[in-house]
Amino acid sequence: MTFPTSRRRKSAADLVNRLGRFDAVIHNAGIGYREPKLVKTVDGLPQLFAVNTLAPYLLTALITMPKRLVYLSSGMHYGAGSHLDDILWEKRRWNGSQAYAETKFQDVLLAFAVARLFPGVTSNSLEPGWVPTKMGGAGAPDDIGKAHRTQVWLATSNEPAATVSGRYFFHRKLRDPDPATKDVERQDLLLDLCRKVSGIALSAT
């Protein structure tokens, strides 16, 4: 079964594919965690999951694979990977902060799965820092002037440090992600869950 969200993403992907193969795609779009109640899309999916996880999954699956892929995560992904069995929040009481953290964990899983399945593509994830934006809040301590630099660097630089794949970064330096993101079974489980929800597979074949 495909949902309206999947059809809209397919339409967006068709527009992208008409332009030809991209050098890089940065999956930067996302929504934050200050949702006091579970908000669902017209498909009945949690909005946080649909925007933060399913959208980059679908676009990755549907567009001509670019040379580089960059997935925005967050420091909140650490320790957030234990609920893939309830990815749609059907069993638990809603917690916006936890739901956001889980989607950011899922973004790292997705980046690493793509790096593994598509060795001809560089696919990485990063945290931009907790910066003072509408999402981060005015009291966020990190430097907003640095928030965009790592993803731009990963998308454009030919420095050896920027052309690796399957890595996690913070301010242009390698950082160890949550160890669970390296678990191939978890990566494959996320891909399978997204396939079941959307009806669209991400496959290297």
Instruction: Show which residues are catalytic.
Output: 100, 104
**How many angstroms separate the Cα of 71 from the Cα of each of 23, 85, 185, 203?**
15, 23, 20, 18
What does the alpha-carbon distance between residue 147 and residue 181 come to, in Å, rounded to a whole number?
22
- On the CB side of 122, how many CA atoms lie within 13 Å of its CA? 23
Provide CB contacts within 8 A for 30, sequence distance 6+: 51, 52, 72, 103, 135
The structure tokens listed for 201 are: 């597979």
DSSP string across 128-184: ----SSTTT-TT--S-GGGTTHHHHHHHH--SGGGS--S-EEETTEE----GGGG-H
